[in-house]
Chain A
Amino acid sequence: MAELIKVGMADYKVGANPASLISYGLGSCVGIALYDPVAKVGGLAHIMLPDSKQARSSENPAKFADTCLPLMLADMIRDGATKMRITAKIAGGAQMFTFANATDIMRVGERNSEAVRVVLKQLALKIVAEDTGGNYGRTVELNLTNGIFRIKTIDKGEKEL
């Protein structure tokens, strides 16, 4: 069986065919799958926060959209991917609890998704598919053989991007 590489919260991993990259239980976090279909090299990031500049000290650049994605992209290129061919698929950014007067922290999912779109645009990477928002958790898996990004939920079914 092909290797299944786990990506934890505030982490990213890159890999190549025939492995798969998986991240469990995304809520307001966002999962970003980058894939080069020719080299069959890809990466999966599980970011927690939009912007490293708005946070206090952190030793972990993989926590933020703005610092994580350039690192993951560089690792993929090191492993044989070509930037021109890389496309992005994103999922997550839910609001898990509904409050009458949601504060900023409640809407962080939305802000995360937006930050990811901005950073991908800055990196000149095209988003070809997206499944964000809602009020439910997602487990995401990137198949590095074919680039399919599978999204599993508890009761909103399963889809492939």
Chain B
Amino acid sequence: MTEDILKLSDSQLDALKEVGNVGAGNAATALSQIIQRKIDMAVPQVAILPLGEVPDVVGGPDTMVAGVFLRVYGPAPSSILFILPRESAFYLVDTLMGRTDRKEDILDDMDQSALLEIGNILAGAYLNALSYFTKFTMLPSIPALAMDMAGAILSIILIQLGQMGDHALVIETEFTTEADGVKGHFFLIPDPGSLSTILSAIGVKE
């Protein structure tokens, strides 16, 4: 099967959306349990975008965000990137640590480690769904954290995709907590070649 993401059929895109839906649903449930807040999840977007437009999904290339990045190992190597606006990252760690008196706009070691752990748990929950659909064993790497401009953080995956073409297939889900507006974006980016493996495994070849 060739892998031209511009030629994916509607049923293939729908299948990917369903995987995104269940995966992000699992992840949202996990996040909701961690911070003990109700979390709303938007319908996942499966979009094929020119590489340069991907940062607009999270507010533009110079938006300040925290990103947790993980590699996924297994038959369909992929990358996972969990992106939170800066304020949401602070809110999330403060909630988790039971803190109400944030003075400084920095993440200390403990905060960073908490965010990494959240990324880890969310990725695990997401990958459970993906494993369920594909019957593949998918293992996440140790997560890495960066707090910077969205364009800079996304460059790690965009560059990789850029080696194969000029567009990105983005499976993206937005989370929001009810009252206090923690927002997050969860990206699953199959490596070149992995997309066809995933589509074959879930049985939608065309």
Query: A residues engaging B (CB < 8 A)?
Result: 8-11, 24-29, 48-49, 54-60, 63, 94, 96-100, 105-106, 108, 135-139, 154
In the complex, what residues of B have CB within 8 A of residue A27's CB?
148-149, 151-156
Contact (Cβ within 8 A) A94 B166: no
Contact (Cβ within 8 A) B64 A96: no
Question: Does B36 make an interface contact (CB < 8 A)?
Answer: no
Contact (Cβ within 8 A) B162 A63: yes
Contact (Cβ within 8 A) B158 A48: yes
Write the nearest CB–CB distance from B152 to chain A, whole angstroms: 3
Given contacts A25-B62, A60-B166, A96-B152, contact A10 B144 (CB under 8 A): no
**Complex A-B: 19 CB contacts under 8 Å:** A9-B55, A9-B61, A10-B166, A25-B55, A25-B61, A25-B150, A27-B156, A28-B159, A48-B51, A56-B165, A56-B192, A58-B166, A63-B166, A97-B67, A97-B156, A99-B141, A105-B159, A135-B146, A154-B64
Contact with A along B8-24 (1 / 0, CB 8 A): 00000000000000000
Partner of A29, one of B67, B146, B155: B155
Most buried by A among B141, B148, B152: B152
Question: Does B52 make an interface contact (CB < 8 A)?
Answer: yes
Contact with A along B107-134 (1 / 0, CB 8 A): 0000000000000000000000000000
Contact (Cβ within 8 A) B166 A9: no
Write the nearest CB–CB distance from B121 to chain A, whole angstroms: 18
Nearest-CB residue, chain A, relative to B86: A154
In the complex, what residues of B have CB within 8 A of residue A8's CB?
52
Given contacts A28-B155, A97-B156, A99-B142, contact A136 B148 (CB under 8 A): yes
Given contacts A97-B69, A97-B144, A139-B62, contact A49 B163 (CB under 8 A): yes
Question: Does B57 make an interface contact (CB < 8 A)?
Answer: no
- Give the complex CA separation of A94 and B61 in angstroms: 15
- Give the complex CA separation of A59 and B165 in angstroms: 8
Question: Does B42 make an interface contact (CB < 8 A)?
Answer: no
- Give the complex CA separation of A135 and B147 in angstroms: 10
Interface size for chain B: under 10, 10 to 19, 20 to 34, or 35 or more residues?
A: 20 to 34
Question: Does B200 make an interface contact (CB < 8 A)?
Answer: no
Contact (Cβ within 8 A) B151 A25: yes
In the complex, what residues of A have CB within 8 A of residue B62's CB?
24-25, 139
Contact (Cβ within 8 A) B166 A137: no
Question: Does B97 make an interface contact (CB < 8 A)?
Answer: no
Contact (Cβ within 8 A) B162 A48: yes
In the complex, what residues of B have CB within 8 A of residue A57's CB?
165
Given contacts A24-B149, A96-B146, contact A55 B155 (CB under 8 A): no
In the complex, what residues of A have CB within 8 A of residue B203's CB?
none
Contact with A along B59-91 (1 / 0, CB 8 A): 011101001010000000000000000000000
Contact (Cβ within 8 A) A108 B159: yes
Contact (Cβ within 8 A) B150 A96: no
Nearest-CB residue, chain B, relative to A105: B160
- Give the complex CA separation of A26 and B165 in angstroms: 19
Partner of A10, one of B153, B162, B192: B162
Partner of B149, one of A25, A58, A98, A135: A25
Nearest-CB residue, chain B, relative to A54: B163
Question: Does B47 make an interface contact (CB < 8 A)?
Answer: no
Contact (Cβ within 8 A) B158 A9: yes
Q: Which residues 148-194 in B have Cβ within 8 Å of A in the complex?
A: 148-156, 158-160, 162-166, 192
